[in-house]
Structure 1
């Protein structure tokens, strides 16, 4: 096939065939130029300085004002951005109430580096995940067993694991990039067989992402995350309740700015999947009226402004890539033209089901890592110092590090994903919150030829389905769900 989107130069968008939205070049683990040693020393010592309450005086009294002119490559600019954003988030949230005015020695170089990279001057998904990891063995591929993190706020295994799960998530996401683009290409060429195969592989890849997400609790304790890690990832937008009604002031003579903190919503991979599958998210007050009402005209609702806003927190090349994919994606339009019982429709609904399952798991993590710790009675029985978001446990409408109402936002995204199913009964099944009628989890099993062969139930038994016709496995799977 020719003329498809797969012929785009992925490297032009800093997207790697093997590593997805992780750059083909490993992040720098330090700046070799000794001129920037004060940044390196301060950033790498953040856990110790926070523990001893010395970060604030170090920044205010000992951090020199350095020029960024000696950051001569893109990799060095990225490292500079990682260092300075860790320092600013650590500084702002090091005390309660938080520091509101940033010293020039930190504010000015951060503003300049951020401008060159086209990113906000705050800790983002780019600085804590995409550009903040190292390989244990540089001769081996990226895997959880071969990953270690760079900077942290707490120095804990829990924080490192929290970041590294996201790093590996992006690595595995390269499969989604590949199969999604091939599906778009197959539609362009009107090649049904290739489309169905690509969608099955995309469904498998999304399921792999879900499996990675489920490993979060292996080494990241929910209470450590909620009380110790999460506060430092917050930005200063919608943070009036925790002491920053105007955001922070970048320099004594600078301006107040409000920015969201690091969030998974800043992952280009998640928005890429929504674009490929044609999943549309709306602003509050759109289709999210309860009880839910069917949409008759999508144009009457505004797109979700928060998700669009999150794109400015992504690296510029990734934003360009999403724009390109958004203009070329054709999958949903193609599927809607197919007959109601077609394999194309069933393959598409398999991907939608996987995305819905992914978002269910994400909601489960929010419950375990935010809602349960926030409601724990022992929170009110301790004199341990809390700061930032860890002081807002009495607020039922929990705010995420990105400044949004977490449960409401993620539930809306999950429901809007279910709405995209094109088979009526599948859509109704996905929207049904009463799961007591079924012991099934959407955890699907495929054979080595990527044919669906079964699923796991809630007691982890594998239920096999015999598929006599290997060419209709997607069809067979849907009818026996």
Structure 2
């Protein structure tokens, strides 16, 4: 790969401290009163759904407005949030769902989407990236200082569900920073800097995992499954839910099929994969494309679903992922190092923690979708359902997510393909054993190691020559594998 100077991430609408979140706080209201009706309907979605007035309000009391008075990018983003929330609420407010979006909503929605190069449905951008505020602007942006914008249900649970992802993206800014610095270190031949930035990258990925674990603090799985999830659904692969042809945008429009809001639309997760050279195969996974038969990268048939999800990301973020794909050289670099080198172990630390992140994500899917779905099939709940929640699946492995894909199969494949990327033998053995495969090394132990400030340092096992040393000055355990 060609060397690169320090990249200015702001060129890609990325903030150094907030990552893929809007560099400025999202608008909480369009300043032009001309759009007051959009604001009123969108902010009252929970009440309109509760009183079964959503469809009638849009059909009868929603004026057709032009978008030429949206003068700035933040205003376009706010309009996109408003119109996509209204659209998803309109589609899923009845049973069966409404498959035709009226002209007064469809026309401005399609125009805004054309300006932003985004699809006309609720996306990760709608519900997360451009849909939050801070409680106290004088305080740091953290989970306890965040408030959600629009919701479908007006519930605490829905707000928390979105805010976990907002904070996830904020912490992800560290992954962006340290990952790009690791690439720069390789280009400048600075091995010490490379190891330090890989350590910091591993710590940052680990923090993402800890954020995910907080989901159930304030978001009940059954509330999510039966009340929130249906309104996040798209129109792709939704025949069983009542949309055999997708959605028609306008009385004279053509049917379109789009995936719904999904964490797969987070640029951060795809960034980590690209950065570390984690390749995801097309449908069928490694069973159809055995890695041992692949001799060069061009033979990979990459996962079409993940590539498709990029069109749901803001255009500057898509361009950033394309850039990272071109300049990343981390995996190539560590493979050029010695078999038991510090560089390889530094890389495998990141791979192991990214795999652990995907394990936690799978656990959340089980808790928030598979268990409630099983209760539904066993008639253990009398909850009245709408939209997607009416589509029952007898096979948990085939359960379809809001993004329109089989959840467990897809996420398990992504997790296993992450494990496959480990380059150190004992780490490979550990990760294989962790996935249920037999291991020759029955005495292998793997522990995540933290210093006294709870900063991630690395991992060790009891059979190899990997150890921690103390900093003589501070007493902190802050070195790993000889000098790290």
Q: In the TM superposition, what is the alpha-carbon distance from 1:57 to its structure 2 partner?
A: 0.5
- What is the match of residue 123 of structure 2? 124
Residue 415 of structure 1 corresponds to 416
Deviations 1:12-65 (A, max 9, x none): 111111111112200000012111011000000000010111001001111110
CA contact (8 A) 1:446 1:454 kept: no
Counterpart in the other structure of 2:325: 326
Once the two structures are superposed, residues 187-245 of structure 1 have per-residue CA deviations (whole angstroms, 9 ceiling, x without a partner) of 11121111111101100000000000000000000000000000100100111111111
User: Cα offset for 1:466?
Assistant: 4.5
Mean Cα displacement is larger for which, 431-440 or 362-371? 431-440
Pick closer, same or farther for the CA change 1:450–1:472 going to 2, 3 Å: closer
Distance of 1:259 and 1:442 partners within structure 2: 42
Give the corresponding residue for 2:82: 83
Distance (whole Å) between structure 2 residues aligned to residue 86 and residue 254 of structure 1: 20
- In the TM superposition, what are the counterparts of 1:87-236 in structure 2 within 5 Å? 87-236=86-235
TM-score normalised by structure 1 residue count: 0.92
Measured in 1, the distance between the counterparts of 2:117 and 2:51 equals: 34
Gap regions ≥5 residues in structure 2: none
Cα displacement (A) at 1:427: 1.5
Shift of 1:387: 1.5
Give the TM-score of the pair, scaled to structure 2. Answer: 0.91
Q: Is the 8 A contact 1:398 1:405 kept in 2?
A: yes
Q: Which moved more, 1:119-128 or 1:382-391?
A: 382-391
Residue in 2 that maps onto 1:280: 279
Alpha-carbon RMSD:
2.6
Query: Using a 3 Å threshold, how does the CA distance of structure 1 residues 359 and 262 change in structure 2: closer, same or farther?
Result: same
Q: Secondary structure at the match of 2:214?
A: helix
Aligned equivalents of 2:108 and 2:33: distance in 1?
16
Describe the SS at the equivalent of 2:248: strand
| Structure 2 residue aligned with 1:355 | 354
State the SS of the aligned residue for 1:240.
coil
Q: Structure 1, unaligned stretches of length 5 or more?
A: 457-463
Q: Map Cα deviations across residues 437-479 of structure 1 (whole Å, 9 max, x no partner).
A: 78978654235596737789xxxxxxx964369999443699x
1:44 aligned residue:
43
Question: Deviations for 1:291-338, whole angstroms, at most 9, x for unmatched residues?
Answer: x77454354331001111111110111111111111000000001000
**What is aligned with 1:445?**
450
Contact residue 282 and residue 302 of structure 2 kept, 8 A = yes
In the alignment of these two chains, the number of paired residues is: 468
- Say whether the 8 Å CA contact 2:164–2:215 is kept in structure 1: yes
CA deviation digits over 1:377-421, x for unaligned, max 9?
686255542112212233311101100000000000000000000
- Decide whether aligned partners of structure 1 residues 377 and 243 sit closer, same or farther in structure 2, where only a CA change above 3 A counts: closer
Moved over 4 A (4+): 3-6, 435-443, 447-451, 453-456, 468-473
